[in-house]
Chain A
Amino acid sequence: MRSQRQVWGDTLVELVRGDDRVVVIDGDLATSTMASRVAEQHPDAFIQAGIAEQSMVGMAFGMSTLGYRPWLSSFGVFLTHRALDQVRMLVAQTGAPVRIAASYAGLLNGSSGKTHQDIEDLAIMRAMPGMTVVAPADEFEAAAAIRWADTFAGPVYLRLARDAVAPVFDSDYRFELGAVRTVREGADLALVSTGVQTSRTLAAAELLEAHGISARVVHAPTIKPLDPAGLLAAAGGAPLVISVEEHTVIGGLGSLVAELFADHGVTTPLFRIGLADEWSESAPNDFLLHKHGLSPRRVCEQVLARLRQ
């Protein structure tokens, strides 16, 4: 079982080997993001920008105007927050083919705590015109999404997790922009999830099965552009829809589903699971997932409580 950052490092090594216009620009976090694998095996494709995320984005934009397809390598929080203006102005507004590999995205980042957690990235990046936002579920979807992003003509934000999760897909997986994936069938309710949380949401569905609850699990790897018809078909007909995301419930996947339902007059009850309007802390993964209601057991409990209402 590989983590998404391992997959990213390994896949980038293959991409730079095949095309010298692919470069990785690192913000001095290569050993964490696994960009170090490119630095070690193909140093010509590796550019050290230093601890200067804003400059990284500017350089990536500048290089893209000469035909390069740069990957930005840093922790997500430094790209979506510290360099937000640069991403907005130089990448999204110009449509530059810059790939933002947001490593350590979400809540779980190796006990670094709230300075390094990025729990607002989906809300921020999906609000930005011209930005494509992808949150793969596991190593296989990450690998496919990285290969897809490399050939995409515009800017891409790729939400990658630090730690490995149980696979949702297999090695044959093919990424398709916007496509919604039903990864488990069930009749009593639909759980809608994105990113690596889908793996934990699937586990929660297994726990619900033991309680006699049949839960469908719908995975939305593409936050933008969204396939409204696909998501409505996959989730809209269920008696109850519950969104589950490793992200604040403000502006992320749950908000997206609510907007979609409102736009299309869908009256299915919707309940959002995710971080409330609160900061987290530094702690082991299991502790944080439990505390914020994202562990399989806590998701199961919240679903049961909701069904009892």
Chain B
Amino acid sequence: MTPEKPARPSDDELAALSREGRWRVISTVAASGAGHIGGPLSAMDLLISLYFGELRIDPAQPQHPDRDRFILSKGHNAIGLYSVLAMRGFFPLDELATFDRGDSRLQGHPDMKLTPGVDASSGSLGQGLSAGAGMALAARRLGKTFHTWVMLGDGELEEGMVWESVISAPRYGLDNLTAIVDLNGLQQFGWPRQEHDRFDRSEPMGHTDLEAVFTGFGWRPIRIDGHDFGAIRRAFDEATGARGSDGRPSVILADTAKGRGVSFAEGAYRWHNGVATDAQLAVAHAELGFPDPQPEPPKESIR
């Protein structure tokens, strides 16, 4: 049976799930000894909204041929995806503790051959959108009605290959394809502007009018606040509702904050990746209000 769209949780429920996802990111990276924080947190509200309110998927049949597809093109945010996949039931929550360790199904970057629920391997930036375009094109040729989603980072838009796909996808009429750009405004080491103001929140690609650019290439841009669940929901509806209409793929340009939800990481480029100390974990836990019982991150580290 084709997977159905889940009943949409309330905004409060989504917020609680997002807080849990953020806590799992921070605590898992702390236990692992390395990993990305900023991007997984900026994208968490979008990922939670997708996996709990939008994607037609079945954790019991992760390879269902008619499932919606999701590609995390910004593959270094793997721990964000793994946290949500585990919460959604694709694998046990305690498996998160194996993240980035030897013989683990949870690699530092998503591996479709290993992790249930991962539709495409990723990690070399720029490649996900063309892979998604191939899936959407194949779906159309085969008469399948599933939707293909690809999440990119704003820094990733600097990769030339992204624009090959941006140029070509409208030519195939892929209105069954939606790109989500996590516009958190920070890269690993920023976009140099001037000597004493190296990290300008308006960069990277901030100098570009992305709505105009995507419109010019034949896409349907939808600009939203990426932390507003109502706006995210309406954007998803607009993108999927356009399927079969005018052949334009949709792009959701989601303004977000890197490190969102945790005071010491929010807006701080140094938390692109990072390992929280015990004190920082306590701060994060308090700020995220993770419900009891508090999950204890494994203390041993192989690093």
> Which residues of A approach B to under 8 Å, CB–CB?
47, 49-50, 52, 54-68, 85-86, 89-90, 93-95
Q: Please, which residues of chain B bring their CB within 8 A of the CB of A47?
A: 137
- The reply to whether A63 and B112 contact each other, CB–CB distance below 8 Å, is no
A66 to B138, CA, bound (A): 7
Cα A58 to Cα B167 with chains together (Å): 14
Docked pose: A163 CA to B62 CA in angstroms: 47
Query: Assuming the A-B contacts A50-B167, A63-B137, A65-B119, are A58 and B142 also in contact, with contact meaning beta carbons closer than 8 angstroms in the complex?
Result: no
Contact B113 A62 (CB under 8 A): no
Cβ A62 vs Cβ B168 within 8 A: no
**Cβ-defined contact, A52 with B164, below 8 A:** yes
Q: Is the CB of B135 within 8 A of A66?
A: yes
- Cα separation A217 to B124 with both chains bound (whole Å): 43
Q: Which of A57, A65, A68, A95 contacts B130 (CB 8 A)?
A: A57
Q: How far is the CA of A64 from the CA of B130 in the complex (A)?
A: 13
B139 at interface by CB-CB < 8 Å: yes
Pair B165/A55 contact, Cβ less than 8 Å = yes
Bound-state CA distance A118–B161 (Å) is 22
Q: How far is the CB of B142 from chain A (nearest CB, A)?
A: 6
Partner of A54, one of B119, B121, B130: B130
* Residues from chain A with Cβ under 8 Å of B65 in the complex: 66
Please, which residue of chain A has its CB at the minimum distance from the CB of B148? A62
- Residue numbers in A under 8 Å from B127 (CB-CB): 54, 58, 85-86, 89-90
Q: How many A-B residue pairs have CB under 8 A?
A: 90
B96 within 8 A of A: no
Counting contact residues on chain B (CB < 8 A from A), the size range is: 20 to 34
Dominant secondary structure of chain B at its interface with chain A: helix
Given contacts A52-B167, A55-B161, contact A62 B112 (CB under 8 A): no
Instruction: From the candidates B134, B139, B160, B164, name the one contacting A61 in the complex (CB within 8 A).
Output: B134
B131 at the interface (CB under 8 A from A): yes
Q: Which residue of B lies closest to A95 (CB)?
A: B113
Bound-state CA distance A67–B66 (Å) is: 13
Which of B120-167 touch A at CB < 8 Å? 120-121, 123-124, 126-139, 142, 144, 160-161, 164-165, 167
Q: Name B159's closest neighbour in chain A (CB-CB).
A: A54
* Residues on the A chain within 8 Å of B161, using CB: 54-55, 58, 86
Contact between A58 and B138, CB atoms less than 8 A apart: no
**A55, A56, A66, A94: which contacts B112 (Cβ < 8 A)?**
A94
Pairs A-B, 3 closest by C-beta atoms: A62-B134, A58-B130, A55-B164
From residue A138, how far is it (CB to closest CB) to chain B in Å?
Answer: 33
